[in-house]
A = this chain, B = another copy of it.
């Protein structure tokens, strides 16, 4: 999507590839919103580190980063053209290194498995052919991620009417995918079609992805928006200032319609239900979980307490990056990363195949995005 660079809007993807330099290019999300920088990673090991240390985050984005990292690793093989045991061991090592970078995420592993299977089944005659094909597949993976998000946007845009106030939580934006995003895709689609509206961005403690990333995205695209403390959403709803909520999701239990997403999503859903405000969740089909029979089976990650104890930002005094402790040091903190929203609080699930009631997701079984 668009990034303001020296006052002009330029199109970027979250993840891309420099073929000549064999570098994975990532918008460094650890620097946002304070600095915009596209960082190049010259080896698959560096790419794995970038996935692990959250330079890139979000399901689609880390999937594509792993895919490009896999191609990057294969293209860097210096052991000759023959498909030797040594080459195959090396490919396994690249696969493992990237797959283990974010062990709880499914997208990198899905991308890597798909690429390895296609490459292995293709009967390619040389390591150079592996390299060419791997990059084609990574490009295909990234382009499909973009296409899925565009399709979400096309369906979801129909919900957005002139003058609406839309609330979103966390960042399910283009920075979390290769482009367009999930929750934001309907917004970008509607905006680019000329519909005017306004977005409330929950700041989304503890990691503040709404204040930092979603606000940055919307600013760069020129969409009017306002950052609020998470505590303010209920009051705004009570004042009639929210017409619709759209969030993303990390995992939707297809059999029940339960939605796992960033902590606080469930709270917004309860508030929307109380105020009879439509609550939508936007996802690519890869977010659907066909294995679990209930949201209660989803392990809720407890993240590092440091995220609640302290806050990262830019010193107003020196301009330097600082982490500041805000909570009483001797107090215990808890930091559940996700919550589960039950289907009766959800108006609809916006997918690349259309908008579905959470009870109707079974019809999507077996479909790819």
Contacts and interface: CB of A to CB of B under 8 A. Distances in A.
Contacts of A204: 231
15 contacts: A34-B329, A211-B327, A215-B327, A219-B330, A227-B327, A227-B328, A228-B334, A229-B263, A229-B308, A232-B339, A234-B270, A234-B339, A235-B263, A238-B339, A270-B270
A205 interface: yes
A322 B334 CA distance: 24
B267 A234 contact: yes
Given A308-B203, A326-B211, A328-B212, A238 B266 contact: yes
B226 A332 contact: yes
Interface of A: 32-34, 201, 203-206, 208, 211-212, 215-216, 218-219, 224-236, 238, 262-264, 266-267, 270-271, 273-274, 300, 308-317, 322-336, 339-340
Nearest to A326: B313
A326 B219 contact: no
A38 to B, nearest CB: 18
A339 B308 contact: no
In the complex, which of the residues A219, A229, A330 has the most CB atoms of chain B within 10 Å of its own CB atom? A229
A336 B239 CA distance: 12
Contacts of A215: 327-328, 331
A225 B23 CA distance: 48
B326 A316 contact: no
A31 to B, nearest CB: 12
A324 B311 contact: yes
Given A33-B327, A315-B323, A335 B264 contact: no
Given A233-B267, A234-B339, A328-B211, A228 B323 contact: no
> A-B pairs with the 6 shortest C-beta distances?
A231-B264, A313-B324, A234-B267, A33-B328, A235-B339, A211-B327
Contacts of A216: 328, 331
A334 to B, nearest CB: 5
A226 B333 contact: yes
A315 B317 CA distance: 12
Given A232-B264, A264-B234, A339-B235, A324 B314 contact: yes
A224 to B, nearest CB: 8
Contact of A325 (B219, B225, B308, B316): B316
B339 A326 contact: no
A311 B326 contact: yes
A270 B274 CA distance: 7
A263 B231 contact: yes
Nearest to A264: B231
Contacts of A314: 324-325
B271 A331 contact: no
Contacts of A313: 310-311, 324-326
B34 A325 contact: yes
A336 B232 contact: yes
Contacts of A219: 328, 330-331
A326 B208 contact: yes
Nearest to A329: B33
